[in-house]
Amino acid sequence: MSFDVPDDLRYLESHEWVRVAGDTAKVGITAFAQDELGDVVFVELPEEGAELTAGEDFGVVESIKAVSDVYAPVSGTVTAVNDRLRDEPELLNEDPFGDGWMLKLEVDDESETDDLLSPDAYRDQIE
Amino acid sequence: MKYDQARWTDNSDDRYEPLLSEKANETFDIEDSPLPDDLTRDSLSLPDPAEPELARHYTRLSQMNYGVESGPFPLGSCTMKYNPSFTEDVAARADAAIHPDRPDSTVQGTLALCHRLQDYLGRIGGMDAVTLQPPAGAAGEFTGIQIAKAYHEHNDDERSEVVIPDSAHGTNFATAAMAGYEVVELPSGDDGRVDIEALEAAVGDDTAALMLTNPNTLGLFERDIEHVADIVHDAGGLLYYDGANLNALLGRARPGDMGFDVMHYNVHKTFATPHGGGGPGAGPVGVREELSQFLPNPHVRERGGNYEHYEPDHSIGKVHGFYGNWPVLLKTFAYIARLGDDGLRDASAKAVLNANYLAEQIEYEVPFGPFHHEFVASAGEQDAADAAKRMLDYGVHPPTTKWPEIVDEALMTEPTESETRRSLDQLAAAFNAVASDSDAELADAPLRPAAKRIDQATAARNPRLSWQALDDT
């Protein structure tokens, strides 16, 4: 089974994606991650204004199979969180790269994205 | 043998046996209360069934349940053995119902029995001293690791890590974290056992303890256990034995002889007491002599022919009220006394024979082996959870699924010592029927039990935690 790995994103080995545009970034988990987790039943996200550090956990995704931490791909300040996930955690399963986004960041240092996996490197990891 | 479970529903056929509150509710007026008005109400709605209604309600619920008295229950690592009913009779004796605050001098028989059980368990585990106080297996783990911590602190030896194999029970990780240690996870070797090189790399000056189950979760005996013990001891760490699988060794091998320093006993798995579910349990802890000064308070000892409670010199304190859950301990004692040395040896022989017999009978791939008390089969191309649901249709309880992760689509199977060859053959027939069932049959299962496929995601997303919430649809 092959999973969608959009070419305009960068990835973490722990299965988060990030879309960086200038000094803003959008973060979520990958299609592969949601399939491994199974039906997501609860998502815990930080407050707006929270400071995230690259590589550290910022929230929790709970599925019927597992409870997993999710990690920040880059450092920055949270400017928005996807409130729909509170009542519709299934969006993470249905549309992980779209309506299932988790949060938006104001990025501290754009060069941090250089350390992230390219789409090809992430494809290699999950195959 | 064909299976159809009783299914009691309301008239619409879409709700199970109605709640008592729906069947026989009465509104009772509340008399004047001395409490402030804003804390009281005028009336209260409570179920008020006639006794036969009540009896039928619970009988119907029990008919829609499945237990070890319904059929085989090979839930791996849980050891769902049958508990002989005489142990209940012993625990229900009126002279067992004594108040725990009575003076020692008036309860000499009870204390003598506690003392003798400490001795039995010590001899079974090869341990010098045993506390009966911890109220469950997980509480026993916590107590054991607290004792290890107290030992290191007593020696002014600061250590921050506990090493645990990746195949260990989840409670081990939780115990180490609750006790304030960093967990170091040890990958299993290719043969499913402890990887000696990985162990040597993981153990060092910071190692407080290695927690190990033997035989391990794959049902494999850790053959290098003495070498493992040397590595841990040479680094100044202690070796902790998780007693979850002790039923494989009863009367044949002892953790103390293998080099373990601390252990807990799961009396519900190894002996014959009810499995948890939130009810009272017991998880005694055994230790080597040099650790006995740290045991919980109180402990029971014999002095000049009399038995008494006392506080060990450097006790870690209390882990439960009084001296543990006495009726559970009484059942443990009764089981050991009834079986005796030969019976205990026979129990472990049957646990091992049954697991290996069943592993030979089933068509799923069974990697590793030969086994001790349990084995892990692979559902292969099937989804292990779907295969498990389908097994319910054949009138048996399924094995534990998808764990340990060392085996793909794991079916972790432990028939236990209490199954006969007939019931093992029934189990094997169920495994083999499911193995040749189609994906469509698996996806629809189960069809024959009272409850069909449970929608776990909806249940978890919209939990209703009180009967009153049933109206919140």
For residue A27, give the nearest of A41, A10, A44 by alpha carbon: A10
User: Is B456's Cβ below 8 Å from some Cβ in A?
Assistant: yes
Q: What pLDDT tens digit does each residue of chain B (473 aa) get?
A: 689 999 998 777 777 888 888 888 899 998 878 888 888 888 888 899 999 999 999 999 999 999 999 999 999 999 999 999 999 999 998 788 889 999 999 999 999 999 999 999 999 999 999 999 999 999 999 999 999 999 999 999 999 999 999 989 889 999 999 999 999 999 999 999 999 999 999 999 999 999 999 999 999 999 999 999 999 999 999 999 999 999 999 999 999 999 999 999 999 999 989 887 767 899 999 999 999 999 999 999 999 999 999 999 999 999 999 999 999 999 999 999 999 999 999 999 999 999 999 999 999 999 998 999 999 999 999 999 999 999 999 999 999 999 888 899 999 999 999 999 999 999 999 999 999 999 999 999 999 999 889 888 888 888 878 776 665 54
What's the CATH code of the domain at A32?
A: 2.40.50.100
Distance CA A108, CA B449 (A): 57
Task: List the structure tokens of A13.
Answer: 């080995």
Sheet-wide strand order for B375-378: B375-378, B410-413, B400-401
Does residue B5 form part of some domain?
no
Q: How far apart are the first and last CA of chain B?
A: 40
| Residues B391, B360 share a domain | yes
CB of A36 within 8 Å of a chain B CB? The answer is: no
Q: What angle do CA B25, B31, B37 make, to 5 degrees?
A: 105
Q: What is the pLDDT of residues B387-404, one digit of tens each?
A: 999 999 999 999 999 988
- B-proximal residues of A, 75-94, CB under 8 Å: 89-90
Min Cα distance B453 → chain A (Å) is 14
What is the number of domains present in chain B? Answer: 3
Are B170 and B240 members of one domain? yes
State which amino acid sits at residue A64: I
- The span from the first CA to the last CA of chain A, in angstroms, equals 9
pTM of the entire predicted model: 0.88
Which of B303, B338, B373 terminates a domain? The answer is B338
What is the extent of the structural domain holding B334?
86-338
| Beta-sheet strands, E only, within chain A | 10-11, 16-21, 24-29, 40-44, 51-52, 57-63, 67-71, 76-81, 103-107
Q: How far apart are CA A38 and CA B227, in angstroms?
A: 41
B34 within some domain = yes
Q: Are residues B112 and B256 in the same domain?
A: yes
**Domain membership flag for residue B14:** no
Q: Which residue has the tokens 């190990």?
A: B212
Tokens coding B464: 């209703």
Q: Single out the residue of A64, A55, A67 nearest to residue A16, CA to CA.
A: A55
Distance of CA B375 to the CA centre of its chain: 17
Report yes or no: B457 at the A interface, CB cutoff 8 Å: yes
Q: Work out the number of other CB atoms within 10 angstroms of the CB of residue A22.
A: 8
Domain count, chain A: 1
Query: Both tokens of residue B461?
Result: 């997303």
Contacts across the A-B interface (CB distance below 8 Å): 16
Let me know whether B113 and B213 are in one domain. yes
**What digits encode the pLDDT tens for the residues A68-116?**
999 999 999 999 999 999 999 999 999 999 999 999 999 999 899 999 9
The reply to whether residue A89 touches residue B456, judged by beta carbons under 8 angstroms, is: no
Alpha helices in A7-118 (DSSP H): 31-37, 84-87, 91-94
Which chain A residues are closer than 8 Å to B460 by Cβ? 39, 41-42, 62, 64
Q: Is B460 on the interface with A (CB under 8 A)?
A: yes
Owning domain of residue A85: 10-109
Please state, in angstroms and rounded to a whole number, the distance separating the CA atoms of residues B198 and B446. Answer: 43
From B302, B320, B338, give the residue that closes a domain.
B338
ipTM for this model: 0.74
Tell me, what DSSP letter sits at residue B41? -
Chain B neighbors of A84, CB-CB under 8 A: none
Alpha-carbon span B281 to B273, nearest angstrom? 8
What are the residues whose beta carbons fall under 8 Å from the beta carbon of B26, sequence distance 6 or more?
B45, B46, B47, B48
Whether chain A has a CB inside 8 Å of the CB on B41: the answer is no
DSSP H or E stretch at residue B154: helix B137-154
How many residues are present in chain B? 473
Q: Residue B346: CA atoms inside 13 Å, Cβ hemisphere, count? A: 8
Residue B101 domain-assigned (yes or no): yes
